[in-house]
Structure 1
Amino acid sequence: MQVGEFIAQTVTVGPLTSGARHAITSNAYSDINLHYARAAGLTGAGKTIAIIDDGFSLSHNDLSKKKVTVFGGNTAEDHGTFVATIAAGNQDGNGVMGVASGADLHLTSWGDGDATKSNTAHLAAATSDASRKGAIVQNNSWGYFSEISGASITLADYNTLVSDLVNSPSEDNTFTNDTPAEAFLARYFDESAEVWTDYVSKLDEFTKQGVVVFAQSNFEDDLSSSLIAALPEIFPELKRSWVVAVNGLPEYDAAGNISEMHRLSARCLETAQYCLTANGSVRGGTTSSDSAYKLDTGTSFVAPQISGSIALLAEAFPALPAADLLKRLFASANNSFLTASGTVDFGNGVTHGYNEEFGHGFLDLKAALLPIGNVGVPDTNNAYGGVAPLSEVSVAAGTAHGDAIRNGLRGVAMAIYDSLGANFTIDARALVEEQSQDFGARLANFQSDTTVKTSTAASYSFMGNELSQDTGGFQFVSGAFSEVGEDLGFMRSGGGLFSGDSSIVSDGPGTMAFATVKKSDSHGFGALAFVEHTSDGVASAGFGFSAARTIAPDLTSVFGFSVNGEAGTALGLSAESLDDESLSAASSAFSFAGEWTYQQGLSFFANAELGMTVSSGAGYITSLDPALHSAFSAGMKVGGVFAKSDAVTFSLRQPLRVEQGSATVRLPTGRMEDGTISYAAHEIDLTPSARQLDFGLRYHIDFLENTSLGLGAALSVNEGHTQGNLGGSGILAFRHRF
């Protein structure tokens, strides 16, 4: 933004003009927060502003380099030139700039080249031409005045004429209550009804694709609105996209809030529901030279600020129809300084107060460009169907996926929407909800692991201390999976020492297992079924088999196979959905466990798991390809270090990690003009950026039969399977049973 051209609108308005007790220094562009729009890069580029006025100096520096379409004849006049430079004057570092300096212009002299004349047929033709050429807004800084009194012709004058004609019939007066309004207007202005029918029709046509802006009268004491500005009161269909401009000079308090508004024109009056106020005290171009400017005030110069604002919004929200752009200006206007006499409901809970003096209040471009009402994801496939919080479609990556989903969505744009259906772009990584480790559950698991085992998972230890023991048949046990599953040779959980899942089966406190084992001289066979309960019900369930064999007197190995079905997650990955669909997954894995007892009190162990997960999609995750995953751990346990009943365990571990897999994410990207949401599909790799490696140390001692102490520390390199992340934790648990 050229700062000089912005500062040029800093003017001082004396008390005789403003009615205030003192001079007021203001900047009309700052008042409407134009600098915010400019900082966002908006200039109205690619949009066309149509202006109907007395005439235009096309050679003026602020107009000469613009793309300008002139309809009909033209003469250079001060008023039209001033209006055009405020709406879209060049931003070139000299003079002034327009609110939408990058916009193109469609210019019409209302007298077809004769500023002293006007005819409705020409206005209709100009309006139609602007509509055909895609103008987004038509600016009308003019009105009708009595040739006798010079007063503005008002809606009340029209209503009086109608009443007189209907209630005073004569032979040459055929007007009745059923007479079309165009006929009354034609009688008032001594034109044909067909001409007015055509003009209203062309205005109606324009409001279907653009916004019509009319300046209110500048007579502060008018008791009724300017007739031409109030046409929607006669033809309600025009209200869909019509706005009336009122001139107000704001004063601010120390906090920057509007403390008082000095009205310098007629009130909004009958047009209050579709009326806006802005500061019409500005500098604009004149015809005395191609670089001439002057200071003036009036609703004529408020209107082009509104027109330029519509062009800026059209650039910012290219998919919004013009009527929606105008709604944004109404619903975001600053009405803090006025006492509302009514409200307009714009839908989805967005209402805005107005009164008959200042309409909806003071134009605020910043507020119009920001989300209005709630902001989030669409409730339906239409932007007008309301929004839900982003959290309701969020994706929570499981520990096995690490940073893969966040990385896959880096740089991917997705759309969110406000209550008025406008779309805004955010980074799709905002979808990803970080899952924090439940340290309380880890501590509970750590504390509950009070037994210093002299043998490990490979020994089916809950059945006895030696694999070779003859049990005489099958034996059964039930309990937490973290204990039973480990004893059957499935992945070691680390007893709460580590974060991150160790296996396709959750080893949380809510996962219970039922197992049976048959053991013989040098081998054994185990089977278990497990189920994970959460507050929402059954989260997962499955079964597993394992076979153990003594390879040497001090070396035992276990091979296993497990299957797990998940509801609502896939290896911890979850996706929220507005229609209550949820992920489901089926995982299977082969596992290996081995233990070598080197000597009394010293043993070594190793575990590994390799498997595949097949899952459905949910929410914005439309599909998941089969994913390969792995986990492993190894370590050493030393008993009797400081006391007969203590043990130290050193561990190296990789938690469950996706090694290969992909997902398709379908994200909203925008909207069509009718509000239909548009989507785009993105394929993301589910392999995280690094491999988490955990180094753990655990010390445990039983002081007495019912008293134990546990100390543990863990260091995680590439924590969360994220490159460069370093994490650590320490746990202390003291337990005494009474």
Structure 2
Amino acid sequence: MPTPVPTPTPTPANPFSTAEYRASRGLVLANAIPAYQAGATGRGVLAGVIDSGIDIDSPEFAGRISPLSRDTAGNASIQDAGGHGTAVSTVLAAAKNDSQVHGVAFDATLLVLRTDEPGSCAADDPGNPDDGCTHPDPAIARALDVAAGAGARVVNISLGGGAAAPVLQQAIARATAAGVVIVFSAGNDSADQIDPFARVALDPALARGLIIVAGSTNAAGTISDFSNRAGSAQNVYVTALGERVQANDESGQTFLWNGTSFAAPHVAGAIALLAQAFPTMTGQQLVELLLSTARDAGAAGVDPVYGRGLLDIGRAFQPQGQTALAGSGVPVSLDPSATLSSAMGDAGQGGESLQAVVLDKYARAFGMQFSPAIRGATPRTALVSALQATGRSAAIGAGGTTLALTIAPGRDGVAVERLLLSGDEARQARAMAGSVATRLGASTEIRFAIAQGADALVAAMGGRGSPAFLVARDAAGDAGFEQRSDSAFALSHRIGRLGLTVAAERGNALVYSREGIDALRNRFRRYGYSATSVTLDRRLGGLALSLGATRMIEQETVIGARFDALFGARAGRSWFVDGGARWQGGHGWSLGASYRQGWTQVPRAGALVDGATLRTTAFSVDAGKRGLFGGGDAIAVRFAQPLRVADGGLMLSLPAGYDYATGVTGYAVQRVNLAPTGRELDYEVRYDRPLGRGRIGANLFLRSDPGNYAALDDDVGAALRFTLGF
């Protein structure tokens, strides 16, 4: 009997998107799940409710009514007599028990402060959105003092009426001085201004940035007809669900409640979640955070209807402002950019992720994963780049000095471009390779170039002319990234058959950009580099040998790759050793080979552990024959590997834990591999011959793993060119 194929494990459902959660429509509107996924439930936070008491026997609050709860109006107990207080407490903190609905902060501890005047709740009018109970200002004032003394982080006051009496204003001042956040309901008069009772929020001396006023919306986020608008309180006003809010009354019966009274506990519950998750935040910071992360509604920006907008708990649980690595304070982006170079190819594309703890502007700790930020280089379109290099070359010589220029029309006029040598020009490179070449006696030569690299000058001085290929590049001088040389200089001195050449160049590494004006213009940002080299060459009959060393210093890149502060790798220092040989045999035959070995050091900075060393290699082998069919034709083939990181990476010491109580950061070492899986290998054959007054040439090439990307298909191409001299 064959072994049965196991049934695939289904993708687990979100454990917080339950029927109970969805029935609590205010939680859905307020986007509460990200807070729950972060572990916030309100546990350990004392949340005060100043109202008509609570159903003390309800299982929704079992074990979570603080023993410090009390009546401050002369009632016998905190048992709810009108239902309003129980409904408000349900919205704020009802248990998550798969029964009906649950509160915003379902694990918070409730400080129940009953303030209704004895007997007043018996006159409750069910048709009135406001509770029929009356709450004297002195009783509310005493309740606030109890809350401040008990250490409540937030107090909900879903009450209305006239302006607060001095005794209550003084209690509000004492509570805010103690850091207590107070949430008022806006009132249910369809007015353009908030209820007079809540206007203490507009007095900075009383509010101290710790009061929020809550207006009501329906489930679609539209302001409720009955809700008082933000008016002059727009900067401290936020909206939440206040229509058809499901909650229990004092007898355990379920009703759908309307009123800003039921919007306010959504806001108070959100404060409780934040206070638990981020215990070092002050009350003012909690208020600022909740208001600043509200979803915009109504007119753009803060407006007199919706104020700051719709309560969005999930956004409040996202990092705000500039983020920095915990412990070090090194600023990092939430989407840190690491744009690799072609030498690194598909490194970092295998799904590996960096993890680190970052702090936002409120010093809140967040665990972040940064794998999407490591972007590989865009593989070059080798044939297009080669064929776009068009222009007209001209040279003039006098005595021992030669001047050569390539003039090409540019978008903004005439530009000077690097010399691109045809087959014949490559064979005559000793005379035409540099922009300006002059001899200082029989044994010394000096060359200057614009928009041409020093490696071309060195090759020209050594007489190492090679066939002109479009795609397969000579390994000598391969930097491993797209570059533009600004200027170059070379000085050569010969003693018999031995030559010594010293060269230097400056230019820019071109890093592909997806942002800002660069993406709209030329898509590349430029980062400077400089290089110096010393090369020895020796001629032995038809054999030319060379051995050189190059020192390259990059200003803000590492082998052309760009990293932000998270990675610490800001500037590379490279040594390259180049070996080359070219043999010119009889009957027009030639053979050539080049090999480059590099070591790039990244100084220790930021999160880097003891710096880093990357090893790179490149090689090329070619063969050619002149006069294959007679008549001045030539054929050549080349096999090459562009510069590639053979091994190496960045070892980063990144924060892995953070203790709010002590501020101590724990660290873990993580590695970013910069050696690609792919290995580009280039194969190219070229043939050219005279045709009339010009030359016609054809090139065929194949690139496997183009750009050092193992997953890319082979790049195959051909070109037919005709050049005409004047």
Q: Quickly say closer, same or farther: Cα 1:513–1:711, change in 2 above 3 A.
A: farther
Q: Quickly say closer, same or farther: Cα 1:492–1:556, change in 2 above 3 A.
A: closer
Mapped contact 1:647–1:701 kept (Cα < 8 A): yes
Deviates more, 1:276-285 or 1:480-489: 480-489
Where do residues 351-500 of structure 1 align in structure 2 (5 Å cutoff)?
352-355=301-304, 358-365=306-313, 368=316, 394-404=337-347, 410-413=353-356, 415=358, 427-436=369-378, 439=381, 441-443=385-387, 448-452=420-424, 473-475=443-445, 480=452, 481-487=454-460, 488=462, 495-498=469-472
Q: Which amino acid aligns with 1:214?
A: F
CA distance in 1, matches of 2:52, 2:467: 84
> Is residue 276 of structure 1 aligned with residue 245 of structure 2?
no
RMSD: 4.9
Aligned to 1:206: 179
Mapped contact 2:294–2:315 kept (Cα < 8 A): yes
Q: Per the alignment, in what secondary structure is the counterpart of residue 559 of structure 1?
A: strand
Aligned to 1:264: 226
Shift of 1:593: 1.5
Where do residues 611-626 of structure 1 align in structure 2 (5 Å cutoff)?
611-616=598-603, 624-626=611-613
CA distance in 2, matches of 1:221, 1:691: 68
Shift of 1:231: 3.0
CA distance in 1, matches of 2:558, 2:474: 14
> Is residue 63 of structure 1 aligned with residue 61 of structure 2?
yes
Match of 1:547 among 533, 537, 561: 537
How far does the alpha carbon of each residue in 1:431-489 deviate from its partner, in whole angstroms, 9 at most, with x for none?
545443565654456992312589799xx8989xxxxxxx9644555554453334549
Q: Per the alignment, in what secondary structure is the counterpart of residue 610 of structure 1?
A: strand
Q: Which amino acid aligns with 2:51?
A: D
Shift of 1:649: 2.9
Q: Quickly say closer, same or farther: Cα 1:436–1:304, change in 2 above 3 A.
A: same
> Is residue 5 of structure 1 aligned with residue 20 of structure 2?
yes
Mapped contact 1:490–1:560 kept (Cα < 8 A): no
How far does the alpha carbon of each residue in 1:315-371 deviate from its partner, in whole angstroms, 9 at most, with x for none?
676765443343344334455436x9xxxxxxxxxxx4232x554344344555567
Q: Quickly say closer, same or farther: Cα 1:665–1:451, change in 2 above 3 A.
A: same
TM-score, normalised with respect to structure 1: 0.69
Aligned to 2:47: 49
Q: Which amino acid aligns with 2:100?
A: G
Aligned to 1:467: none
Aligned to 2:557: 569
Shift of 1:274: 1.6
How far does the alpha carbon of each residue in 1:620-662 deviate from its partner, in whole angstroms, 9 at most, with x for none?
7797434433222223324444554333333222222334544
Q: Per the alignment, in what secondary structure is the counterpart of residue 354 of structure 1?
A: coil
Mapped contact 2:614–2:649 kept (Cα < 8 A): yes
CA distance in 1, matches of 2:97, 2:527: 67
Aligned to 1:305: 266
Q: Per the alignment, in what secondary structure is the counterpart of residue 363 of structure 1?
A: coil
CA distance in 1, matches of 2:327, 2:177: 29
Q: Quickly say closer, same or farther: Cα 1:244–1:718, change in 2 above 3 A.
A: same
Q: Which amino acid aligns with 2:581?
A: G
CA distance in 1, matches of 2:183, 2:474: 62
Count residues in correspondence: 624
Where do residues 635-654 of structure 1 align in structure 2 (5 Å cutoff)?
635-641=622-628, 644-654=631-641
Aligned to 1:104: 108
Q: Which amino acid aligns with 1:543?
A: S
Q: Quickly say closer, same or farther: Cα 1:454–1:302, change in 2 above 3 A.
A: closer
CA distance in 2, matches of 1:731, 1:389: 43
Aligned to 2:499: 525
Residue ranges of structure 1 left out of the alignment (5+ in a row): 10-26, 144-151, 159-184, 190-195, 341-351, 464-470
Q: Per the alignment, in what secondary structure is the counterpart of residue 230 of structure 1?
A: helix
CA distance in 1, matches of 2:177, 2:465: 73
Shift of 1:68: 4.1
TM-score, normalised with respect to structure 2: 0.70
Aligned to 2:515: none
CA distance in 2, matches of 1:644, 1:48: 96
Shift of 1:305: 1.2
Aligned to 2:257: 296
Q: Quickly say closer, same or farther: Cα 1:81–1:273, change in 2 above 3 A.
A: same
Q: Which amino acid aligns with 1:70?
A: P
Shift of 1:295: 2.1
Residue ranges of structure 2 left out of the alignment (5+ in a row): 1-15, 71-76, 121-134, 392-419, 434-440, 509-524
The percent of aligned pairs where both chains have the same amino acid is: 20
Where do residues 307-326 of structure 1 align in structure 2 (5 Å cutoff)?
307-314=268-275, 320-326=281-287
How far does the alpha carbon of each residue in 1:190-245 deviate from its partner, in whole angstroms, 9 at most, with x for none?
xxxxxx756632332133xxx32122444556987343x33344562524121122
> Is residue 86 of structure 1 aligned with residue 73 of structure 2?
no
CA distance in 2, matches of 1:538, 1:35: 47
CA distance in 1, matches of 2:247, 2:589: 91
Aligned to 1:138: 155
CA distance in 2, matches of 1:233, 1:472: 90
Q: Per the alignment, in what secondary structure is the counterpart of residue 236 of structure 1?
A: helix
Shift of 1:606: 1.9
Q: Which amino acid aligns with 1:264?
A: F
Q: Which amino acid aligns with 2:147?
A: T
Q: Quickly say closer, same or farther: Cα 1:688–1:424, change in 2 above 3 A.
A: same
Q: Quickly say closer, same or farther: Cα 1:692–1:414, change in 2 above 3 A.
A: farther
> Is residue 247 of structure 1 aligned with residue 247 of structure 2?
no
